[in-house]
Chains A and B, each alone.
Chain A
Amino acid sequence: MTPTVYGIESLTGISLDSSTRLTLSDGPLQLGWKHSGMTSDFIAEVMALRYSRSRKDYVQAHHDIGYLSNELIENAVKFRQPGEILIEAGILDGTFLIRVKNTIDGVTSSRFQQLLHRLQSRDPGELLLEQIETNAISAESGSGLGLLTLLSDYDAKMAWAFEDNNDQRVILTTTAAVAMPPSSNL
């Protein structure tokens, strides 16, 4: 079945075969919230190394990779159905790319697709401020604020693919890219 794609469709076709691949399983130990922080810190440590020629570039790359990875993995942990979370991350042509794949339920899938639909026709910076005002008067979580900060404050390019899995569950694959600082040791 062809997936439903939102965002920048060309990102979904980029191969990350030669990248770092991590699988977070939820086995008997239960995947903790803490793991999303540890995993994103690890990815930032490994990926930012090539920018260590310049202190400024290194700090910038380490932070941007860490923030982007953390938001995507936090979302996967927060909204996933039992099962593995697959994470692929790499640097291609001066861009950091991360792809996170996990399973969500049908209700989460429709709510998320509505949000992405709204995103398509609006400026993310405006939507971010609107969402912050809405959050201030309600305690609702899952507002998409993380994605809006990525699009608005980090200029991230993103794509989301939803694929039905025949059992009321949906496989969600999120791909995100941010430009890296210019200097590199490679």
Chain B
Amino acid sequence: MEISDENFRVWAEKNEVYFDGVFRLAGPDAYAPIYSLISGLLHEGHKQVTFNLTGLEFLNSSGINLLAKLTIEARKMDDLLLVVKGTSQYPWQAKSLPNLKKLHPLIDLRLA
């Protein structure tokens, strides 16, 4: 399944979710379909789920809230390892992704 508009694309392949482009949606309501897509994947019984953010160029604060909410959702599941793959190519990732680790210390955060 895939959700996209002219600026971004998010899709899942097996247990990995890919984010691509510029996410600048207007708030929690606008991000709700993306939240449902990924939250569904978290509850499919995988041992590990990966958020691949290496194509995620820009994310507004409502989008950061989305990632944080998903991280908290994953934190509730004892058997699930959440891997977050990022890149230092996009400055927001080095600034804001470490917050996810503070929310859920067991995350495997990889900032290449």
Contact = CB atoms under 8 A, between A and B. Distances in A.
Nearest to A66: B58
B103 A132 contact: yes
A182 to B, nearest CB: 15
A59 B91 contact: yes
A129 B68 CA distance: 9
A95 to B, nearest CB: 17
Interface stretch (B13-21, B24-32, B46-54, B77-85): B24-32
B68 A132 contact: yes
Contact of B27 (A129, A141, A154): A141
Interface stretch (A103-111, A145-153, A166-174): A145-153
A149 B64 contact: yes
B60 A146 contact: yes
Interface residues of B, number: 25
B69 A135 contact: yes
Nearest to B66: A135
B61 interface: yes
A139 B103 contact: no
Contact of A141 (B28, B69, B91): B28
Nearest to A59: B91
Interface of B: 22, 24, 26-29, 58, 60-62, 64-65, 68-69, 72-73, 89-92, 95-96, 99, 102-103
